[in-house]
Amino acid sequence: RTSISVSASGEQLRVNGDIEVGTTRAVKRHLQDHASITQVHLTSSGGNIFEARGLYRLFSSNGLDTHVDSLCASACTTAYVGGVTRTAGDDASFGFHQYRMDLPHAAIVTSAAEEQAADEALFLEAGASPEFVSRMFDARAEHMWWPSIDYLQANGVVHATR
């Protein structure tokens, strides 16, 4: 379940938990209600990639920064790279893997490969290096690749640590 809250200063929005259907809409409402928000703190093991893309666009179009203190994996990483300035805490971990479609029926309009290609384009647009993008989906769906923060900084995913 997604938990969304505003910091006492009113400058940070905290998004914790799975990125579920409706998360983008809920975050947008918080941004409308709190114009002083400049940064989004993410903690998530992933979720819906379509919602993550919605968050990416929301963060990018509103000039918001993103930050991770602990965990940002799978779909969370797509939301994270929507940040104008992207920072990470000393204990931050970012996980990447291939997509899979967990649907009880066949998805006629898309495939995991097509969705991965869409997110590769977003990462490149956000300034991630082609080398990183060529590796980000190497780990199978049931596994995870955990690159170091130094590697992520050197390849344009994380801008700074703090």
* pLDDT tens, position by position, 94-107: 999 987 766 555 55
104 HSE (CA, 13 A, CB side): 0
**Other CB atoms closer than 10 Å to residue 64's CB: what's the count?**
21
| Contact predicate 5/37, CB 8 Å | no
Tokens coding 31: 């941004």
pTM of the shown model: 0.91
Order of strands across the sheet that contains 3-6: 3-6, 12-16, 39-43, 65-68, 86-88, 160-161
* pLDDT tens, position by position, 47-85: 999 999 999 999 999 999 999 999 999 999 999 999 999
Tokens coding 58: 């929301």
| Contact predicate 64/37, CB 8 Å | yes
Predicted confidence (pLDDT) at residue 143 exceeds the cutoff of 80 = yes
Strands (E), the chain: 3-6, 12-16, 39-43, 65-68, 71-73, 86-88, 93-95, 160-161
* pLDDT tens, position by position, 4-51: 999 999 999 999 999 999 999 999 999 999 999 999 999 999 999 999
| Contact predicate 85/58, CB 8 Å | no
Predicted confidence (pLDDT) at residue 129 exceeds the cutoff of 70 = yes
3-state secondary structure of 72: strand
More confident residue, 117 or 86: 86
Give the pLDDT score at 75. 95
